[in-house]
Amino acid sequence: MVQNLRHDDDAIGDSSTSSRDDWPGFADVFPSSKFGPRPVVVMDGGMGTTLQAPPFSQNIDSALWSSELLATSEGRETLVRLHATWVDAGAECIGSNSYQSFLPLFLPNTSSHNCTQEAREKMLSALTCITLASPEVTSSSSISSTSRGYFPVLSLGPFGAVCYPGQEYAGLYPAPFGSRETPTKIAFDVEAITLPSVPVTSDLEEDNLMAFHLQRMTDFVEAEEWNRMKLIAFETIPVVKEARAIRRAMKVFNGQLQGRDGKGKTRLPFYISFVFPLDGHGRIRYPDASMTGLPLDEQMGELVEAVFGAREGEEEVDGFGINCSNPTRIGQVIESLHKAMTASGDVAKRTRKPWLVLYPDGGAVYDVFTKAWSNPLGLTVERWASHLAENVEASLAIQLKRTGIQDDDALWGGVIAGGCCKAGPEAIRALGKELASRSLTTLA
């Protein structure tokens, strides 16, 4: 399509879908009969940073980050133990170890350094690991009356997660996925992959981002454990056009599942989550260079339109997320989000309420060049949990008049809350206790 990317002209398949109301949403995954009329669900914490800390003490520094553990049986056993640790800490949504996963990154870890099938098996094993964390509660038929079970989530990072240095917090993507001059490198050989063909638009960067995300979905749906996943999380998205690219990719992907290519695979609800780092002036801002200089409220208006705007060829999104952002400043981001949501005509017309997903970092700051952490906030896990619970509680109180929903003006259908980098099991345990103390969950 552009530059030296190869595209498979026969790969796009059927992009038609049935009505969005015909397949599951968050309310079906977390029904009110089990979670209450305004559900709050606890999520796990930071994968890679928890693996680096005791008792796991893993040395992970490759382009795959924590996904490099999928390359060995010992690594996969470690991941199963980590997933079980989150369940033990009270997390109900457990993310797969696939955030950085992209097939070309696994090729160097194969026996012949270019075995695509072996690379795919290693990558897809992330879904096997997550379903092995606590087998007795992965099927709804075996969840006891005192446990709501846990819900496996397919975790997918942005294109920036396969760049070097990582671009989750800056969004400076190299060509052909971005247009700005940048020293950022793509962490895989572009000749090692053929991306699926996608409809060509006037924005070739967005088209290539769409192809990137569609390729990953096409790979992961081949996993035997696909139907045991409950949600898809597109996380830490730093570029607004990437959100639109994801929606376009999901529209095509869901069309393939509905059509002859589905092979009995389940369509899954999904959310898109964004990152809000501090800028050079200490202000919390969205990092997309196209929004430089805009106040946060205006940035958020563009993001809400990208996620919830009704446009042909883009899938309806089930939730809006904020992740890996400063835990003491996340309230400012949520306030701007609520302003944009209540001003959006497209949000008001939705027949399904969107969900809010909140998982700030643990308060530490990471340097992508030195690969070192600092902790300027010095938050305890209790203070961290209190900050987050306050924002969950405030979000549940926001009202919005809708045309399609009667007798319930709450903006959000529910909230998923957890942690990102440097938020470990003790932080998640503290969050569960804090939410329960505020009567926001039924679990102690």
Residue 298: give the domain boundaries: 6-437
Predicted confidence band at 384 (pLDDT cuts at 50, 70, 90)?
A: very high
Res 181: pLDDT: 79
Quick check: is 389 in a domain? yes
C-alpha span between 226 and 319 (Å, rounded): 20
Comparing 226 with 186, the larger pLDDT belongs to: 226
| 243 inside domain | yes
User: Which residue did the predictor score with more confidence, 9 or 278?
Assistant: 278
Q: What percentage of the chain has pLDDT greater than the value 90? A: 64
Q: Which residue has the higher pLDDT, 270 or 195?
A: 270
Q: Give every CB contact of residue 221 below 8 A, 6+ residues apart in sequence.
A: 253, 257, 265
pLDDT over threshold 90, residue 366: no
What pLDDT is recorded for position 232? 98
pLDDT value of position 145: 30
Evaluate whether residue 442 is within a structural domain: no
Average pLDDT score over residue span 375-382: 86
Instruction: State yes or no: pLDDT of 1 exceeds 60.
Output: no
* Antiparallel, parallel or unpaired: β 365-367 and 372-374: antiparallel
Within-domain flag for 63: yes
Distance of CA 414 to the CA centre of its chain: 17
- Is cis: bond before 24, omega within 30 of 0? no
| Sign of the alpha-carbon torsion through 423, 244, 336, 169 | positive
Higher pLDDT pick, 59 / 139: 59
**Residue 259: strand pairing partners:** none
CA 249 to CA 439: how far, in whole Å? 39
pLDDT at 114 over 70: no
Alpha carbons 280 and 277: distance in angstroms, whole number: 10
pLDDT at 105: 85
* pLDDT confidence tier of residue 230, bands split at 50, 70 and 90: very high
Structurally, the chain folds into a number of domains equal to: 1
Binding site members: 324, 420-421
Query: Closest by alpha carbon to 174, among 166, 165, 185, 164?
Result: 185
Q: Are strands 231-237 and 270-274 parallel, antiparallel or unpaired?
A: parallel
**Which string of b and e fits 384-401 if b means at least 16 CB within 10 Å?**
bbbbbbebbbebbebebe
Q: Of 439, 428, 415, nearest to 27 (Cα)?
A: 415
pLDDT of res. 143: 33
Q: How far apart are CA 252 and CA 249, in angstroms?
A: 5
Instruction: Report d(CA 150, CA 251) in Å as an integer.
Output: 27
* Exposed / middle / buried, residue 43 (Cβ in 10 Å: 0-12, 13-18, 19+): buried
Mean pLDDT lowest among 95-109, 287-301, 307-321, 365-379:
365-379
Here the CATH number for the domain that contains residue 120 is 3.20.20.330
Q: Does 14 have pLDDT greater than 70? A: no
pLDDT confidence bin for 365, thresholds 50/70/90: confident
Weakest-pLDDT range from 14-23, 79-88, 373-382: 14-23
User: What whole-number distance in Å separates Cα of residue 440 and Cα of residue 432?
Assistant: 9
Angle at 359 between CA 437 and CA 36, to 5 degrees: 45
E strand segments, 240-286: 270-274
Residue 260: what pLDDT? 54
Which helix or strand (DSSP H or E) is residue 243 part of?
Answer: helix 240-258
**In-domain check, residue 443:** no
Of 10-14, 231-235, 278-282, highest mean pLDDT: 231-235
pTM above 0.85, yes or no: yes
> What pLDDT, on the 0 to 100 scale, is given for residue 415?
98
In a domain, 330, yes or no: yes
Q: Which residues are annotated as a binding site for Zn(2+)?
A: 324, 420-421
Compute and round to an integer the Cα radius of gyration of the chain. 20
Q: Is 340 helix (H, G, I), strand (E, B) or coil?
A: helix
Q: Which amino acid is at 428?
A: I
Say how far apart CA 263 and CA 248 lie, in whole Å. 21
Residue 1 included in any domain:
no
> What is the C-alpha separation between 110 and 192, in angstroms, rounded?
14
CA–CA dist 202, 241 (Å, integer): 12
- Percent of the chain at pLDDT exceeding 70: 86
pLDDT at residue 3 greater than cutoff 90 = no
Task: Please provide the average confidence, as pLDDT, over all residues in the chain.
Answer: 87
108-113: long-range pairs with CB below 8 Å, 24+:
109/64, 109/68, 109/71
- The rounded distance, in Å, linking the Cα atoms of 350 and 328 is 31
Tokens of 159: 């294109």
User: What pLDDT is attached to residue 142?
Assistant: 33
Q: What per-residue confidence (pLDDT) applies to 356? A: 98
Mean pLDDT value of segment 372-394: 90
